[in-house]
Amino acid sequence: MKIIDGKAISTEIRAELRERSEKLKAEKGITPGLAVIIVGDDPASQIYVRNKARACEELGFYSEVIRLPAETTEDEIGEVIDKLNADEKIHGILVQLPLPGHKDEKSLLLRISPEKDVDAFHPYNVGRISTGDYGFLPCTPAGVMELISRSGIEVSGKDCVVIGRSNIVGKPMGMLLINASGTVTVCHSRTNNLKEVCARADILVSAVGRADFVTADMVKDGAVVIDVGMNRNAAGKLCGDVAYDEVAPKTSYITPVPGGVGPMTITMLMRNTLYAAEQAAK
Ligand code: NAP
């Protein structure tokens, strides 16, 4: 059994990104710029936003955090997005979700220019992902694909099972695995015989959001297990979806939580921001 070290792989990719970014600056005089809009004061969102700004700083990117009060209207957020769409210093825009209140997140995400949509949530970019004609890649699934490929794991021809069908993780994860020529099953809360389906997987990706959800009897001997879940256990400790102690000995590769998929997501956001800046320089 090998533990996939997401921190080490993330550090390796960030070094590559720094090099690409310095080249862009030297050759075209462009510094990649990311704007993050945060509405309200949700503590988890504050931490995510801080980490994104810190990653920008580390890579020498320009970053702006636009903090808006919880009562900001959709129209007002839309106007901020319009300004950022027109701002040449900014190559990537993201709205930190969830938004407080009952705001129409979909229509706000649609307002972000597809060329600056570094979360890859805009239907234009979702469509490109489904056709395999990549521009931006959705950050968490793209991070999983990097963990798999940089660990030397072949996807082509493998039985891949994804648990979860959210627009952010499960669905695009399935799409990227299909594009890599895996044979993919995407499961959800209505899936029949989930245990049996999972136990057939050569590569099992869990994105459910429940501690100890994936147990040893759901995992084939020698499978690759990727744990996207980020949960708190009864003791308040960060954990994934996988009952790690009982599952790990059965696997050929497994990602830990923390230190697996988590560190990759922001790194992929940085990659998308750099890609946007490179495209703008063309
Ligand atoms: P989500 O929108 O709540 O989706 C959860 C999915 O799990 C849904 O598709 C749901 O099915 C499915 N599910 C729930 N109970 C199930 C059951 N008993 N059997 C089978 N499927 C079941 O969550 P998400 O945004 O995709 O996130 C999933 C997890 O990944 C969370 O823990 C989140 O914190 C974590 N996450 C981590 C990162 C990272 O950077 N590491 C990034 C994003 C998310 P239905 O569709 O039928 O309801």
pLDDT of residue 229: 98
- Confidence category of residue 115, pLDDT binned at 50, 70, 90: very high
Number of helical H runs and strand E runs in the chain: 10, 11
Q: Which residues contact 235 (CB under 8 A, 6 or more apart)?
A: none
Report the amino acid identity of residue 72. T
pLDDT of residue 104: 93
- Per-residue pLDDT reduced to its tens digit, 235-245: 999 999 999 99
Note if 96 is an active site residue. yes
With contact defined as beta carbons under 8 Å apart, do 247 and 229 qualify? no
18 lines ligand 1 (CB under 6 A): no
pLDDT of residue 276: 98
- Per-residue pLDDT reduced to its tens digit, 175-200: 999 999 999 999 999 999 999 999 99
Does the pLDDT of residue 97 top 90, yes or no? yes
**Residue to mutate (ligand 1; options 51, 169, 190; most atoms within 8 A of CB):** 169
pLDDT of residue 112: 98
Residue closest by Cα to atom 35 of ligand 1: 229
The stretch 195-222 carries a mean pLDDT of 98
The stretch 199-209 carries a mean pLDDT of 98
Note if 212 is an active site residue. no
68 lines ligand 1 (CB under 6 A): no
Active-site residue, selected from the candidate residues 5, 117, 119, 241: 119
- Per-residue pLDDT reduced to its tens digit, 18-59: 999 999 999 999 999 999 999 999 999 999 999 999 999 999
Strands (E), 59-118: 62-68, 92-95
231 lines ligand 1 (CB under 6 A): yes
pLDDT of residue 256: 98
The stretch 170-174 carries a mean pLDDT of 98
Distances 29 to 132, 171, 222, 282 between C-alpha atoms, Å: 31, 37, 49, 12
Does the pLDDT of residue 134 top 90, yes or no? no
- Confidence category of residue 165, pLDDT binned at 50, 70, 90: very high
- Confidence category of residue 162, pLDDT binned at 50, 70, 90: very high
Ligand 1 centroid–CA 207 distance in Å is 4
Round the average pLDDT of the chain to a whole number and report it. 97
In terms of C-beta distances under 8 Å and separation of at least 24 residues, what long-range contacts does 243-247 make, across chains too? 243/212, 243/213, 243/214, 243/215, 243/216, 246/215, 246/216, 247/214, 247/215, 247/216, 247/219
Ligand 1 centroid–CA 90 distance in Å is 31
Ligand 1 centroid–CA 210 distance in Å is 8
pLDDT of residue 193: 98
Q: How far apart are CA 86 and CA 83, in angstroms?
A: 5
Residue closest by Cα to atom 2 of ligand 1: 166
**Residue to mutate (ligand 1; options 140, 228, 241, 270; most atoms within 8 A of CB):** 228
Counting residues of the chain whose pLDDT is more than 90, the rounded percentage is 98
pLDDT of residue 218: 98
